[in-house]
Amino acid sequence: MNGSPSVFLALREITKQFGDFSALDDVNLQISEGEFFTLVGPSGSGKTTLIRILVGMESPTSGEIHLKGNTINDLPANKRPTCMVFQNLALFPHKTVGQNVEFAMKIAGVDSQTRQKRALELLELLRLPLDFYDKNINQCSGGERQRIALARALAFDPEILFFDEPLSALDFRLRKTLEKELKDIHRETGKTFVYITHSLEEAMVMSDRIGILNEGKLIQIGSPDDIYNRPKNKFVAQFMGEVNTIAVDRIGQSRVRDSKTGGEFDLDSQAQEIDSGFLIIRPEVMKIGRSAQFMPNRIEGVLFNDYALGSRIQYQVRSADGENHWLIERLQDDPFSGNAGDSVVIGWRPEDSILVDQ
């Protein structure tokens, strides 16, 4: 019935209306068993609504959810074989770490010896010291709480584990560590993970596939490589972070014209068939100074400022009239020597640019 036997979770034409507002609009999605799938979208894109529908906390206005070929629309959250790691983790404050982890097993009527054995196994899997078993939840740090929340969800032994951006409240370094740990846990357990986040960068690190959601619509589904190198439109291209965007009109098979300044650029031979759209050039492939002089596509401008990003340095170049600006990044051990106010040339290779739709 599902076409392919490997389809584990399937969403068909899921729509959710809140009054006149359409939170989700005809969402279709198929997720395979054992996959790490991430839904990415800005706030208000409908990603939280979608995950609440999948967990069973909300029901869709129309559409169907299939798990292993069975419709689960009418199953309430406590009857679904799935569970979620909440954004604020929702650890029970009146229970110890062990009692939190064992909660689902206690509800299922598992005897206390088996429960404790499994809880200790999970603490070990999540690299938590075993004496945490008797610890109070309030005595645990942010990273420890993340792991406890994950252990509690794994103890439920769900078919699918959902994550509602649980890492968003953590500081940068801890988040980076836990992203990788989560990917490792995914590999070790072989479970199906469905994760939502507003950070495409976070999604890239962990996911097998990514779905980009905006204004209730799934815009693009693909591997991290697809999303990064073959964004479907301007929204997806800009979602990753800072990019140079130039509005262009097609004037030949492999040539476009800047619709503002009239400058003409060469296109990649593989570029999409689009009459007018946007040329996307990432800051790290943009060249500046001498290395730009022999590039087929060039723009002249004035160096405005530079910013240290750690491993790289970013330069901002503005047009003479100040209307447009571009970003260029170089490795920090290969800086560009120029002063603010200098006239500079920037340029890029046609194959480093991406032509996308509105």
Partner 1 sequence: MQSSRQGKVVRALIVVWTGAILIFLYLPMLSVVMASFTKQRYFQFPVKMWDTRWYEKAFESLSVRDLFWTSFSIATLVTVISVVMAFFGALAFARYDWKGRKLYQRLILLPIFFPQAVLGLALLLWFSSLGVTTSWHTAVFSHLIWILPIVTLIMSIQVYSFDPVWEEAAYDLGASRLQVLREITLPILSPGIVSGAIFAFLLSWGNFPLSLFTTGADQTIPEWLYSKMVSGYTPMVPTLGSLTIGGAAGIVILSFVILNFYRKLRGRR
Binding residues vs partner 1 (CB under 8 A)? 55-57, 76-79, 83-84, 86, 88, 90, 92-94, 96, 99, 103-104, 106-108, 136, 152-153, 156
Rounded to a whole number of angstroms, the minimum distance from the CB of residue 114 to partner 1 is 16
C-beta closer to partner 1: residue 106 or 250: 106
Q: Where does 33-95 show beta strands of DSSP type E?
A: 36-40, 62-67, 70-71, 82-85
Rounded to a whole number of angstroms, the minimum distance from the CB of residue 96 to partner 1 is 7
Rounded to a whole number of angstroms, the minimum distance from the CB of residue 229 to partner 1 is 37
Question: Using a CB cutoff of 8 Å and minimum separation of 24, what contacts does 329-332 make?
Answer: 329/283, 329/284, 329/286, 330/288, 332/308
- Cα–Cα dist 198/193, whole Å: 16
Q: Residue 233 burial (CB < 10 Å; 0-12/13-18/19+)?
A: buried
Instruction: Give the residue from 109, 112, 159 showing the smallest Cα distance to 133.
Output: 112
C-beta closer to partner 1: residue 76 or 296: 76
**Cβ count near 7 (within 10 Å):** 17
C-beta closer to partner 1: residue 133 or 304: 133
C-beta closer to partner 1: residue 57 or 308: 57
Q: Residue 273 burial (CB < 10 Å; 0-12/13-18/19+)?
A: exposed
C-beta closer to partner 1: residue 51 or 182: 51
- Cα–Cα dist 32/9, whole Å: 7
Rounded to a whole number of angstroms, the minimum distance from the CB of residue 324 to partner 1 is 46
Rounded to a whole number of angstroms, the minimum distance from the CB of residue 111 to partner 1 is 16
